[in-house]
Structure 1
Amino acid sequence: MKNIDKKFRVSKNKLMTSVLALFGGFIATGIIENSITDFDENLVPCMIIAVSVGLVCAALCIIFVKEYYMQIREDGFELVKGKKVTKYDFSDFAGSNVTRHYMNGIYTGTSREIQILEASGKTTKINANNLSKGSFAELVTYLGQTRFTKAHDIEATAEYFKEGIEFQIPNEKIVKANKKKVIGWTAFVVALAVLFIGMMIYSLITKYDSTTFFVIMIFAGLGALIELFMELIPAAVTYHKMKNMPARIRIDEYSLTIGDKTFSSSSILNIMLVPAEYTILTRDFIVITKNNEKIKYNFGKNDLKGKLTYASYDKLSSAIEVWCIVNKINFMQILG
C-alpha cells in the first residue's frame, strides 16, 4: 500500500497531561508533607520529594498517554494511537465541525473536530484542537475530496461539465438585504447608546437616585456594547466583503467564469471556499492563479430565512469542488 506521506498530529494529550501531572504531583506532595511535618525545618527534603513525585508522574504520562495521529494513505486513512492503528476507508469520514466559543459576548477560542463513522454505526469524534486552521483545512480536504472519485468515474463526471453549468445569482437583492441589516443594527445600537448617555446626563444633573433607573441605564449601555461587537460590526464587515458578489458563475469543461472574468483550468493554482454547512463563517470563495493573483468573492453568511446569502451556494460549492478534482486543481475548504 502506497504511503501518501501525510501525517497529522491531531492531539497534544501527552504534553498537556505530563505538564498537569508534574505540577499536580508537586502540589499534592507539598500539601501532604506540610500537614504531617514541620515544613519550614524540612524545606529542602520536602522540595526534593515533591519534585521527584512530580517528575515520576510526568514520566508515567509520557510512557502511557498516547497521542492521536491521522495518516493519509492512497486507499484510505489510519487513526494511530500509540501502537494501535485503526484503518478506515475515505467513505468513513463523516464530516468535521468547527465551533467558536464565547463567554458573555467575548470570544474565548475555537474548537475543531473530526467525525468518523465506525462499522457499528456509531460516530467517533476526534478532538483536533492541536491542528492550526490551515492544517485542519488540509486534513479535511484529504479526507473529503476522495468521496467524489470513489462515487463517480472521473471521465463520466467530466461529461457533466461539457455543456456548461451556469448559476444566476441575485447579487443586488442579497447585498441590499445585508445593507438593511447593517442599517437596522446601527439604528438599534445608536438608540441604546443615546438612551444610556441621556440617562447618565440626566442623573448627573438632577442627582436622581433610583435603583430601577440605574439598572435600565446600565442595561442600555451594556446592550449597546454587546450588540456593537456581536452584531453590528460582523454585519458591517460581511456587507463590505460581499460588494463584489458576482451576478453569474459559469462552469465549463476547461474554464470557470465568475462575473465578467474567465479563468482557464490551466491558469488556476488553487481554489478555496467555505463549505455550505458551516454557519459560523462568511461564505468566502478565493481563486489563486499561477500568476500569484488572488481574487476574493463573498456570498454572505448563512441565515435562517436565507435572504442574506446565495440560496444555491451548496450546489455551487459542490460543483466547484468536483470541477477542481476533474481538472486536477488544488481545492481546499476554509474551515476557520
Structure 2
Amino acid sequence: MKRVALLGLAVMTVAMSYAQGISGTWKGMLNAGNQKLEIVFHFDPSKDGGGAATMDVPAQSAMGIPVRLNLLSADSVSLDVLALLMEYTGKLNNGVITGTFRQFGVAFPLELKAGDAGKPNRPQEPESPLGYKTEEVTFTNQKAHVSLAGTLTYPVNYTPDKKVPVVIMVTGSGAQNRDEEVFAHKPFRVIADYLAKQGIASLRYDDRGVGQSTGNQAGYTSADFAEDAACGLSWLKSSGKFNQVGILGHSEGGLIAFMLGAEGKADFLVSMAGPGIKGDSLLVEQQNALFKLKGIPSNVNVSTLRKSMATQLGNVWLEYFMDSRFTYLY
C-alpha cells in the first residue's frame, strides 16, 4: 500500500534573531547512505520581527514543514523539528551554508545554496489543448452524508448520442486527491488521458475530506470507501451516457474493485496492485521486503507484526485490513 513518508509534519514555535545574510530559499542534497533527498529551507527573517522557517522534502511531497529557529544571523543558522528528532546547524561562507543535518542520532553533512527547488520532470502529464472534453461533477453517498467531487473525462470525438464505456478510478490507501497525486506525479490524470484517446470515458474523484469532497477519513474502513465508489458507479449508470460501467482501482482501490466486482456492481474491473492475500500476511511481506532493500536482516512474521500493531488499537482501518480475507478473488 502506498503509505509513504519518511518525514512527518510538526508545528513548532519560532524564535530568536536574524539578519540579511540568510533569507529566502536555500536547498541542498542530503546523502544519507543509500538514500539521497533534496532538502529545501525557506527562511523569513522579518516574520513577526523575529524569524521563521519551513522545510520541504519534495521527493516525499512533504512541503511547508514548520521548524523552530534557534538562531538565524548574518552567517549562521540553527534549527530543529523536535517531533522528527531532526536538527540542522550551518555557517554561511562564500555563498554556501556548510552544515550538519542530524536525525535519530545520526549526522550527515549538508550544504545549502540559495535558489528555488527544481520542479520534477513529468513529460507524461497531459497539457492543453487536451483534444477532449472534461466536466466537473459531484455525486453523493447519502448514507454517509458525503459529497464526492471529481472530473468526468469524455473520449476524443465523443458525442452525446455515442454510447461509450466508462471507468471510475479508486485511489489507494490514505487521503488522495482525484489525480492520486504523489511525489508531484498524477497517475490517475495520466491514465484518464490515455483512456480518453482509446475511446473510454473515466471519472476520478477526490477521496473523503480531500480537495472538494466533504467528510473525513478518520474511523472508516475499506468497506466505507467501497460504498463511496459504489455510489459513483450508480451515478454513472443513472446518467444514461454509457454502455458499460467499470471500476479501476489501485492498491486499496484494487481491493475495492474486487469487492464491488464480486457484488456485481461493475460491468468490468481493473485491479492495479490490489491485494490477493490476507491483510496481515501482506503487511508482513511488505515489511520484510522494505528491510531487505535497506540491507537490514528481518524475519517479521504475522505473530510479531500483530504484537507490534497492538499499540495501534483503535485504528479501525488497520484492524479491518489486517483481518480481511480476500476469498472473493477465487
Smaller-chain TM-score range?
under 0.3
- Work out which of the two has the higher radius of gyration on C-alpha atoms and give 1 or 2: 1
| Higher helix residue share | 1
Q: Return the TM-score normalized by structure 2.
A: 0.24
